[in-house]
Amino acid sequence: MARKKAPRRTNIAQESLERARREANGQLYVPPAPRPESAPIRSGKAPVTEVRKTTVEDLAAEYAYVLTDLRNMGTLALALFAALIVASFIL
């Protein structure tokens, strides 16, 4: 016997879902009344305390290996290109 599936639950807010259903039926959207000042809105996210600016020196220190890798790949590409040219004369 097949197992019954649990009803699907959406991962969006109920208010947004209701608004989408109303708009799909052709009804106009009426925004809800604003909350009073005594009831703060909690989003569940931690407050952002400090934004640190990244400097060129920080990036250069962190990604120094990239220049080395690019130089190595360029050298390898030139060597393989030269090998192709030599192989075209031989073969």
Q: Taking the model in full, what pTM does it have?
A: 0.39
Residues in the chain: 91
Buried b (16+ CB within 10 A) or exposed e, 7-33: eeeeeeeeeeeebeeeeeeeeeeeeee
- Greater model confidence, 21 or 51: 21
Distance of CA 89 to the CA centre of its chain: 49
Whole-Å CA distances, 11 to 8, 40, 73: 10, 23, 46
Instruction: Give mean pLDDT, residues 76-91.
Output: 95
Q: What is the pLDDT of residues 29-46, one digit of tens each?
A: 666 676 666 656 666 666
Instruction: Give mean pLDDT, residues 82-91.
Output: 94
